[in-house]
Structure formats: C-alpha cells, structure tokens
C-alpha cells in the first residue's frame, strides 16, 4: 500500500518550499504546500479503500516494514508503519482538516512576510504528525511527538521579531519538554520490562498479564505516559502553554488546536489502552485530570475578551472531556469527540480568523459587535460551530459529548454532573463570543488605509476600511467545516472502532442525554439574556462579585504562581549559582589561573633571553656544570 507516501508528500512540500521558496512565486508556493497535503489526503483515501476500511474491513492491523533502525541484543526497532481503525480515523482527521486549513491559509496569509517559510513549517508539521500516527512502535511515535513540538515552536513564534511571539514559542517548547521527559521515561520502562518497543509485541504480552490490584509496573508506565499527554494535550498542570500559543497566525491555531498536536496525547493514551486497562487506578487519574481541566478551563473562558483566547480555553476544556472518556474506559467515545472537535474547533478558529481579517487585526470582542451585517457567511458558519460545541441536539458535538457523559455516569455519577455543568458553561461562553461579535452595533474603528501586517499587538492585520467578508479561498473551507460540524455526529466512529475498543455495555437512561442537552440550551439562553437582551447585566454582576471575577479574569493567577515558584527561582539560581559561582569563580578561575601561571613562568624564562652573549655563555656553563655533576652523582650511586 506504500504507506510511506502519506507522510513523504508533505515532507517533499517542506523541502521544496524550504529550499527554493524564496525564489518561487506565491502561486507556486501555494501549489506545492496545499497540493502536497491534498495528495496525502487522497492517498489516505486510496489506501483505506484498498484495505476495505470503508466496507467493514481493516479488522486486523496492516503493517509495512522498511528497514531496521536499531539492533542491540534482543532489542530490534524498525522503521515500521501500521494502520488499524484507530490510525484510519486519525489519518482522515489530520490530512482532511489539515488540507482545509492549508487552503484557508492561502487567503489569510496573502499579505504576510515570510510566506514560503510559513508554508514550509506547516508542511513539516503535517509530516511529523503523520509519523506520530503511522508509527508502529513507541520510538517512532516519539519521533513524531518531538517533531510536532519543534514545529509548534517555529509556528507559534512565527512573528519572531515580536517579543510576545518568541516568549509564547519558548513557553510552549519548554512546558512540553517537561511532559516529554515523563513520556521518555515511560518508553524506557516499556523497553526494559517487555524487551521491545513494538506495539504489537508489547500489547500482545500485556493481554496475557493480570490486571494490577495495586500500583505496579503498569501504573508506573501509565502515569508517566499521562505526564507526556498532559503536556501535549494541555491538561492540568501543563496546560498554560496553549492559550499563549494564540501568538501564532490564526491558521496555526486551527491546525495545532483542532486536528493535530493537542490531540496527540489523546491518541497516545487510546493507542496504549491495553496498558491503561491493566491499571484501573491510573485510569481514574486520567479521568480526574480531564474533568478538572475541563471545568477549570471553562470557568476561565467565561471572562476572556480576546476571541482567540476564548476558543483556546474551550480547546483545553474539550480536551478534558476526551480525557474523561478515556479515563472511564470509553476510548471510542473519546476518539469520537476528538474527531467532532476537529471539525467544530477548526471552524471556530478559522471563523475567528475571518472575523479578525474583517476587523483589520482586532481580536478584542469589546471592539466588535454588529458584524452580521458585514460578514454574513462567517457569521453563519461560526453559528454552526458554536451550536456544535454547545451540544445542540443532533449536531456533532452533542453526539460525541453525550457518549462521554453517559459513560462518566456509569463510572461515577458525580463526574456526570460536573461534566454537565461544564457543558452549560461551554455553551454560555461560546455564545457570549458569538453575540458580542455579531450582535449590537459595530464598535470598532474602520481601518484608515489598505496596509497589511500586524497591529501593535502583533495581530494579523489585513486592513481594507470597513469590515468585509473574507475571500472565497477562506470561506469555502469554513462552509465545508460547517457541514461537518452539523453532520459529523452521524459518522458512527464508536461502531467503527469496536474491533479495538469494546462497545459500552447496555443502554444508558435517556434522561442523561436530555439533561446534558438542557444544560447546553440553558447556556445559550443565558448568553442571549446577558449580551443581547440585557447587555448591562454582565458588568453589574462582575462588580457585585468583583473578587471572583478578577480571579477568573486573571486565570487564577496560575502563570504568576509558576513564575514565582518555578521560573524565577530557576533564573535566579542559574544567575547566582551557575553563573557567579560555577562559571565565574570555578571555570573562569581555573582558566584564568592557568593563564596567570603561564604568564609567571614565562616572565621568569624571559629573563634568560636577554640578548647578551656573555649571559648566554654563563647559562651554558652553568648547565654544563649541572650536567657533569648529575652524571658524577649517578655514577657514584651505582
């Protein structure tokens, strides 16, 4: 089936644009960048069709071996790609949604500098994500894992002349390295305990081993894998990088936060489900981490004014829902939500980009309003995405979220109720953003000219006077994603994944679904009341509960806490101990001491080089006498 073509095509796009893009025209760069991803998507369709994935086949894993990478004793690690039904879902999401984002980026980045560099990075990101998904062993997965981390650093810090962008890129990179350290330790433990890193070999051994009654090797591996997943998928306590990742261009936000990088942690836990199923304690930790993250991120989203920050915190929250699904054993529901989330979250971010495009780089929703008159296509598509994430009946978000909540109720009813309350908050803050953006009167100032670049905050600026609808190359992907957001729930992913993950047993009570739906509708209704019917009510409530509002508005001061307890001590310790003591006193002291000693010895020896013949004759005579004395002494000693 030549699986290697799937990631190689985006890699070829990266090489062509990266090496020659500076000399290519923009249409040529577009053709290479977009064409490589579209061809990869088409090859995925051809491959899955050939394996029978669309007709009930692919019940067994299909694997291709290319060459042996590492051979050491009994450890054999190959460059192997494999496809099963989980891989099939991920490949469709990554290449399909990724292709739409690439097409959208052609219009969004049309007036930006570094054009070829942007698309080269975007293609490289796709290559590493596909390596991550296709890898048939832990080490190859880790290569893709680190690769998307590198590309996120490059793309988040794309506007590298702006300090806010480089700070955000550094933050994402460093926080993810913390998680990756845990993931690396887990891989070492797997290799030591099972003698292999191949998924098939390791999981085959795991199946025949008993479930742990208390903490053991499975728990250790699972928790270390979870550390990696909390970094990549932005869960507590390593979620702080993701909201700052908004510093990158909006298509980057959509790619990272919808279809690729942040879903890697969810995919990794689902891929290693056999290990997690042997450690119920670790599964409970996954569920609790996910539920806590979903709730906390949703509360923060209530008070954000930057439209991209609102959707960023909703990403953190929705990823929390996926972790809840995984933690309660509903792996197929978690992956189902991963897919539907890719549809509506890509739509929300790209729609936000269209709003920013219309408002000449403005991202503060308090300076928007009334945009439904100017950008009706963007408004309609964003409405579809907002309804989907809010859990509106029969739409994609409701289909996947309800399965997770029902499984949570079967596991522990309190988890269900927290999840339902969180769903209500989600509907509220998403429609708060929708009403602030499209209803009321336009509060922004028309752009004075037709310049392109960035405003004072580095935001994408495509000023064209009054707010205006995006070009077709941008709104056509929005329409496609809107259709997927509306109807994606009818794609029966849980049934498709049954050969890998057992189906949920029994029928859940219908009232569970009704309550979750009611919470979403109540959130929408409250947002309408607060921001359309009585727009002064939010400010009045904020003043009445000023302490709580400030706490939420400032994101619980978590970044400040990390700065005070981690960042500043590390910086101060590095300055006082590593620089002043280790570097200046020890290393510099040794180096300078050697130099001082050499100069002293040289100063003594220099006196022998006086230039006077009599002095030289005296030295020769003295040396001769010493040599004769030494020879005589040695002879007498014998």
Element (H, E) at 63: strand 62-72
Do 444 and 317 lie in a common domain? Answer: yes
In a domain, 322, yes or no: yes
pLDDT at 137: 96
Q: What is the pLDDT of residue 506?
A: 62
The owner of tokens 């939010």 is 538
Residues 488 and 637 in one domain: no
Q: Could you tell me the two tokens for 586?
A: 């020890």
Task: Mark whether 530 and 634 lie in a shared domain.
Answer: no
On whether residue 367 sits in a domain, the answer given is: yes
Host domain of residue 9:
5-553
Distance separating alpha carbons of residues 121 and 102, to the nearest angstrom: 11
**591 burial via Cβ count (<10 Å: 0-12, 13-18, 19+):** exposed
- Spatial CA neighbour of 161 closest among 206, 114, 227: 114
Number of domains in the chain: 2
Q: What does the block give as tokens for 233?
A: 């998928």
Q: Are residues 350 and 244 in the same domain?
A: yes
Query: Do 493 and 625 fall within a single domain?
Result: no
Task: Point out the residues of the chain with pLDDT beneath 70.
Answer: 445-465, 504-507, 605, 607-610, 638
Closest-CA residue to 350 (of 444, 256, 429, 443): 256
pLDDT in tens, 343-365: 999 999 999 999 998 888 889 99
What sign does the dihedral 240-243-244-248 (CA atoms) show?
positive
pLDDT value at position 365?
A: 92
pLDDT at 505: 63
Among 511, 538, 553, identify where a domain stops: 553
- Same domain assignment for residues 540 and 623: no
531 and 623 in a common domain: no
Q: Are residues 293 and 433 in the same domain?
A: yes
By DSSP bridging, strand 62-72 and strand 75-83 are antiparallel
Cβ distance 319 to 378 under 8 Å? no
Q: Is residue 578 one of the residues assigned to a domain?
A: no
Same domain? 518 vs 634: no
Q: Which residue has the tokens 């495509």?
A: 462
Question: Is the CB of residue 246 less than 8 Å from the CB of residue 157?
Answer: no
Which residue, of 553, 571, 593, is where some domain finishes?
A: 553
Q: What is the pLDDT of residues 173-208, one digit of tens each?
A: 999 999 999 999 999 999 999 999 999 999 999 999
In this prediction, residue 321 carries a pLDDT of: 96
**According to the model, what pLDDT value does residue 446 have?**
56
Q: Residue 602: how many CB atoms within 10 A of its CB?
A: 9
Query: Scanning the structure block, which residue is given the tokens 């670049």?
Result: 453
Residue pair 358/375 in contact (Cβ under 8 Å)? The answer is: yes
Residues 491, 625 within the same domain: no
Task: Please give the pLDDT value at position 445.
Answer: 67
pLDDT score for 638: 67
Check residue 470 and report its DSSP letter. P
State whether 547 and 621 are in the same domain: no
Structural domain contains residue 634: yes
For residue 559, being part of any structural domain is answered with: no
Which pair of tokens denotes residue 315?
């990403």
Structure tokens at 53: 């994935």
Quick check: is 26 in a domain?
A: yes
pLDDT of residue 608: 64
**Given CA atoms 9, 13, 19, 23 in this order, what sign does their dihedral have?**
positive
Please choose, from the candidates 224, 38, 206, the residue with its C-alpha nearest in 3D space to the C-alpha of residue 142.
224
Residues 6+ apart with CB under 8 A from 436: 365, 366, 368, 369, 531
> Does one domain contain both 349 and 232?
yes
Q: What is the dihedral of CA 99, 103, 105, 106, to 10 degrees?
A: 140
**Could you tell me if residue 565 is inside a domain?**
no
Question: Is 84 a member of any domain?
Answer: yes
Question: Beta strand 452-454 with 75-83: parallel, antiparallel or unpaired?
Answer: unpaired
Q: Write down which residue in 534, 553, 572 finishes a domain.
A: 553
């Amino acid at each position: 089936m030549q699986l290697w073509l799937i990631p190689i095509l985006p890699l070829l796009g990266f090489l062509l644009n990266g090496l020659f893009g500076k000399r290519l025209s923009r249409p040529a760069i577009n053709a290479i960048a977009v064409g490589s991803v579209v061809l990869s998507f088409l090859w995925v369709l051809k491959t899955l069709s050939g394996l029978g994935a669309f007709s009930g086949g692919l019940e067994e894993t299909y694997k291709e071996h290319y060459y042996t990478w590492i051979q050491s004793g009994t450890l054999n690690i190959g460059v192997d790609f494999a496809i099963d039904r989980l891989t099939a879902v991920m490949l469709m999401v990554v290449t399909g949604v990724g292709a739409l984002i690439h097409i959208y980026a052609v219009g969004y980045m049309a007036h930006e500098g570094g054009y070829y560099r942007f698309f080269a990075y975007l293609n490289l990101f796709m290559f590493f994500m596909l390596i991550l998904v296709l890898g048939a062993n832990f080490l190859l997965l880790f290569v893709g894992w680190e690769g998307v981390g590198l590309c996120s650093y490059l793309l988040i810090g794309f506007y590298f002349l702006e300090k806010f962008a480089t700070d955000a890129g550094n933050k994402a990179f460093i926080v993810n390295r913390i998680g990756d350290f845990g993931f690396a330790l887990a891989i070492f433990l797997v290799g030591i305990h099972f003698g292999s890193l191949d998924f098939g070999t390791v999981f085959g051994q795991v199946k025949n081993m008993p479930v742990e009654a208390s903490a053991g090797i499975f728990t250790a591996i699972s928790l270390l894998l979870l550390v990696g997943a909390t970094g990549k998928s932005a869960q507590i306590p390593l979620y702080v990088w993701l909201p700052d990742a908004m510093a990158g261009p909006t298509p980057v936000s959509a790619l990272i936060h919808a279809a690729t990088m942040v879903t890697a942690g969810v995919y990794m836990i689902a891929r290693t489900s056999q290990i997690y199923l042997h450690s119920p304690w670790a599964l409970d930790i996954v569920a609790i981490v996910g539920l806590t993250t979903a709730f906390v991120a949703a509360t923060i989203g209530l008070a954000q004014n930057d439209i991209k920050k609102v959707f960023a915190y909703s990403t953190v929250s929705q990823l929390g829902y996926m972790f809840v699904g995984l933690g309660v054993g509903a792996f197929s529901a978690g992956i189902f939500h991963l897919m539907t989330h890719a549809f509506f979250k890509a739509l929300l971010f790209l729609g936000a980009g269209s709003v920013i495009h219309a408002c000449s780089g403005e991202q503060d929703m308090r300076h928007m309003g009334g945009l439904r008159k100017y950008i009706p296509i963007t408004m309609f598509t964003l409405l579809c995405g907002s309804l989907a994430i809010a859990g509106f009946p029969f739409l994609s978000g409701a289909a996947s979220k309800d399965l997770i909540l029902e499984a949570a109720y079967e596991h522990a009813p309190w988890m269900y109720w927290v999840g339902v309350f969180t769903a209500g908050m989600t509907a509220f803050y998403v429609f708060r953003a929708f009403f602030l953006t499209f209803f009321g009167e336009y509060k922004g100032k028309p752009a004075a000219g037709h310049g392109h670049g960035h405003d004072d905050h580095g935001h994408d600026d495509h000023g064209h006077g009054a707010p205006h609808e995006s070009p077709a190359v941008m709104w056509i992907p929005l329409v496609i994603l809107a259709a997927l957001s509306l109807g994606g729930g009818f794609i029966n992913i849980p049934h498709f994944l049954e050969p890998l993950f057992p189906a949920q047993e029994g029928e859940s009570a219908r009232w569970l679904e009704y309550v979750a739906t009611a919470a979403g509708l109540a959130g929408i209704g409250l947002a309408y009341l607060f921001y359309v019917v009585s727009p002064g009510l939010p400010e009045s409530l904020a003043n009445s509960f000023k302490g709580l509002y400030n706490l939420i508005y400032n994101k619980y001061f978590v970044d400040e806490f990390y700065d005070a307890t981690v960042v500043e001590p590390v910086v101060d310790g590095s300055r006082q101990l590593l620089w002043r003591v280790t570097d200046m006193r020890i290393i510099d002291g040794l180096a300078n001491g050697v130099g001082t000693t050499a100069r002293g010895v040289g100063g003594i020896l220099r006196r022998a080089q006086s230039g006077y013949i009599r002095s030289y004759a005296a030295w020769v005579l003295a040396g001769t006498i010493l040599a004769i004395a030494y020879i005589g002494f040695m002879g007498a000693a014998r």
